Amino acid sequence: MKVFLFFGAEFEFVSDKKTPRHAGFASVRYTTDKDEFQYSSNQIALGYRFRFLQSENINVYAQTKFATYTISESTTTYVDSDDPGVLISSKDSGSAFDAPFIFGLGADIKLGNGYVTLVYDSLFAAFVDNQDNFPVDFAIGYKFNLQQ
């Protein structure tokens, strides 16, 4: 299992009701690379959340990302088949727009003027060929309430 750190920001759009059930969100995130697996990406995503458990101090929700735009770069190093003593490195970069419908679960826990957020983002992804790999996409963050 490979572990990568990612950093991101998210804007969540909700109604001005005291306990809104529905929300839209836009997120941006950057995935770092590691020495043994050189891959990095930037992703912009649009999504939807439905809060199915709500209280004063905790919200639990299901979410889906329905559109993503990802820019990625990777470096692959391999042994030259003609000369086994030579290592060859090749860089590959690209971008893709997807409508993947990535489903996840999350919770917001009240802390101060905001919320600690725990999200398991990729429980299931429809319309994505993942070559039988199952991603574990877990995020921890803090949401600030910009509305007073």
User: Range of 97's domain?
Assistant: 6-144
Whether residue 1 has pLDDT greater than 80: no
Number of domains in the chain: 1
CATH number at residue 26: 2.40.160
Question: Largest Cα–Cα distance in the chain?
Answer: 68
Tens of pLDDT along 5-14? 788 999 999 8
Record the tokens describing residue 14, joined without a space.
């909700």
Residue length of the chain = 148
Residue with tokens 């836009």: 26
Higher pLDDT, 105 or 99: 105
CA of residue 101 relative to chain centroid, distance: 12
pTM flag (> 0.85): no
Average pLDDT over residues 64-82: 86
Strand-strand pairing, 22-31 and 138-144: unpaired
Query: How many angstroms separate the CA atoms of 46 and 100, rounded?
Result: 11
Would you say 104 and 122 are in contact if contact means Cβ atoms under 8 Å apart? yes
What is the structure's pLDDT at 132? 63
Residue 1 lies in a domain: no
Higher pLDDT, 34 or 20: 20
